[in-house]
A and B are shown apart, each in its own frame.
Chain A
Amino acid sequence: MIEITDLTKIYRMGDVEVRALDGVTLNIAKGEFLGIMGASGSGKTTLLHMLGLLDIPSSGGIVIDGTDISRLNDYEKSMFRLYKLGYVFQDYALVPDLTVMENVSLTAMLRKDRTERQYHEASIDILKKIGLLDRQDHLPRELSGGQQQRVSIARAMVNKPDILFADEPCANLDSENSRMVLDLFREINEEMKQTIVMVSHEDWHKDYFHRIVRLRDGKVTSDDSKIAASS
Chain B
Amino acid sequence: MGKKELKVAFLLALRSLQRGSRSSVLLTILIIGMCFTNMIFLPGLFNGIGQSITKQVVDYEIGNVLVSPKTGDQYVSDLSATLDLINGMPGVERATPHFSKGATLKYRQRMLGVTVRAIKPNDEKLVSPLYTKMVAGSYLGEDDTGEVIIGKPVAGDASVREEDEFQSSLGGVRVGDSITIDYGNGYVKDYRVKGIYYTGWSSADSAVYVSYTDMALADPRALDNADYVTVKTRPGYSEKFVKDELIQYGVSQKVQTTADLLAKSMGRALQSFAIINMVSLIVGIIITTVVLFIVITIKTINSRRQIGILKAIGVDQEVIMHSYGFQVIIMAVLGILFGLVLTLLMAAYLAANPIVTPEWSATLYLTPMDLIQNSLILFAASIVAGYVPAYQVSREDIQSAMRA
Q: Which residues from chain B contact A173 at a C-beta distance below 8 Å?
A: none
Contact call A109/B314, Cβ cutoff below 8 A: no
- From known contacts A54-B312, A89-B309, infer whether A102 and B11 are also in contact, taking CB-CB under 8 Å: yes
A97 with B2, Cβ < 8 A, contacts A109-B7, A110-B314 known = no
* Min distance, Cβ B252 to any Cβ of chain A, angstroms: 78
- Per the bound structure, the CA–CA distance linking A156 and B313 in Å amounts to 8
Contacts A54-B402, A75-B316, A139-B19 given; indicate if A112 touches B2 (C-beta within 8 A): yes
Whether A95 and B12, one on each chain, are in contact in the complex, defined by CB atoms closer than 8 angstroms, is yes
CB < 8 Å neighbour of A78 from B8, B11, B309, B314: B314
> Is the C-beta of B310 less than 8 angstroms from some C-beta in chain A?
yes
* Docked-complex contact A78 and B317, CB < 8 angstroms: yes
- A71-100 contacts to B, CB under 8 A, are 74-75, 78-79, 81-83, 85-87, 89, 93, 95-98
Cβ B4 vs Cβ A109 within 8 A: yes
Which of the residues B18, B306, B313, B402 comes within 8 Å of A107, measured between beta carbons?
A: B313
Whether B15 sits at the interface, judged by CB under 8 Å, is: yes
A103 to B173, CA, bound (A): 83
Does A106 make an interface contact (CB < 8 A)? Answer: yes
- Interchain CB contact under 8 A, A107 and B19: no
Q: Using Cβ atoms and an 8 Å threshold, which residues of chain B touch A87?
A: 312-313
Q: Does B272 contact A (CB under 8 A)?
A: no
Is B51's CB within 8 Å of the partner chain A?
Answer: no
Closest to B11 in A: A102
Q: Is the CB of A78 within 8 A of B316?
A: yes
Q: Given the complex of chains A and B, what is the CA–CA distance between A110 and B9 in angstroms? A: 10
Contact B4 A81 (CB under 8 A): no
Interface string of B371-392 (1 = CB under 8 A from A): 0000000000000000000000
Q: Give residues of chain A (43-70) contacting chain B, Cβ–Cβ below 8 Å.
A: 49, 52, 54-55
A31 to B318, CA, bound (A): 33
CB-defined interface of B1-21 with A at 8 Å, one 1/0 digit per residue? 010110110011001101110
Inter-subunit contact A110/B5 (CB<8 Å): yes
Q: Is A155 an interface residue (CB 8 A)?
A: yes
Task: For the complex formed, measure the closest distance between the CB of A12 and the CB atoms of chain B, giving whole angstroms.
Answer: 14
Interface of B is mostly: helix
Closest to A88 in B: B313
Residues of A within 8 A of B11 (CB): 98, 102, 106, 109
B172 to chain A, nearest CB (A): 73
B291-326 residues at the A interface, CB under 8 angstroms? 305-306, 309-317, 319
Residue ID in chain A nearest B13 by CB atoms: A97
Chain B neighbourhood of A74, CB < 8 A: 317
- Residues on A with C-beta less than 8 A from B305 are 93
In the complex, whether B223 has a CB less than 8 A from a CB of chain A is: no
- Given known A97-B20, A98-B15, A102-B15, contact A110–B309 (CB-CB < 8 A): no
Distance in Å: Cβ of B86 to nearest Cβ of chain A: 72
Residues of A within 8 A of B16 (CB): 97
- Residue on A nearest B17 in the bound complex, by CB: A97
Q: Among A49, A55, A97, A155, point to the contact of B15 (Cβ < 8 A).
A: A97
- In the complex, B353 has a CB within 8 A of chain A: no
Can you list 8 A-B contacts with CB-CB less than 8 angstroms, sorted by A residue number?
A: A78-B314, A82-B313, A89-B312, A102-B11, A110-B4, A110-B316, A111-B4, A112-B4
Which 9 residue pairs spanning A and B have beta carbons closest together? A82-B314, A81-B314, A97-B19, A93-B309, A97-B15, A78-B316, A54-B398, A97-B16, A55-B399
Q: A86-B313, A97-B12 known; 6 other A-B pairs, CB under 8 Å? A: A82-B314, A97-B15, A106-B11, A109-B7, A110-B315, A110-B319
